[in-house]
Amino acid sequence: MGIDVSLVMGGIIWVLAATLVALLPMRYQFAPGFALLLLAPVLIFRLGAEFGWLAAVAALAAFISMFRKPLVYYARKMTGRIPPEGPK
């Protein structure tokens, strides 16, 4: 039973991609940021399965820290706490 190197490399690539996306102008961040947002739970689950629950909790804390504003926005949107945008 060894370390899954592809999983570790996937995590490293995800972190580097998230850093590069953060350097983009705001109008170009949505598509790659959304892809990273969708990939994160899969990566966190696999990290937890391979390295234990402590690694999963650490990865989840890092993920929430990095994506706190989009997560709050989508949570408010799903609960109906953001009014629909109308003409100004």
Specify if 88 maps to a domain.
no
Banded pLDDT at 84 (limits 50, 70, 90): low
**What is the model's pLDDT at position 23?**
95
Q: Which domain holds residue 20?
A: 5-79
pLDDT in tens, 58-73: 999 999 988 888 888 8
Specify if 85 maps to a domain.
no
**What is the model's pLDDT at position 4?**
81
Specify if 15 maps to a domain.
yes
Structural domains in the chain (count) = 1
Specify if 41 maps to a domain.
yes
Specify if 36 maps to a domain.
yes
Tokens linked to 44: 């966190």
Specify if 31 maps to a domain.
yes
**What is the model's pLDDT at position 81?**
83
Rounded distance, CA 12 to CA 16, Å? 6
**Coil, strand or helix: which one is 59?**
helix
Strands (E), the chain: none
pTM of the model: 0.75
Specify if 86 maps to a domain.
no
Specify if 23 maps to a domain.
yes
Rounded distance, CA 55 to CA 46, Å? 10
Residue found by looking up tokens 């391979």 in the block: 50
Distance of CA 25 to the CA centre of its chain: 18
pLDDT in tens, 6-39: 998 999 999 999 999 999 998 999 899 999 989 9
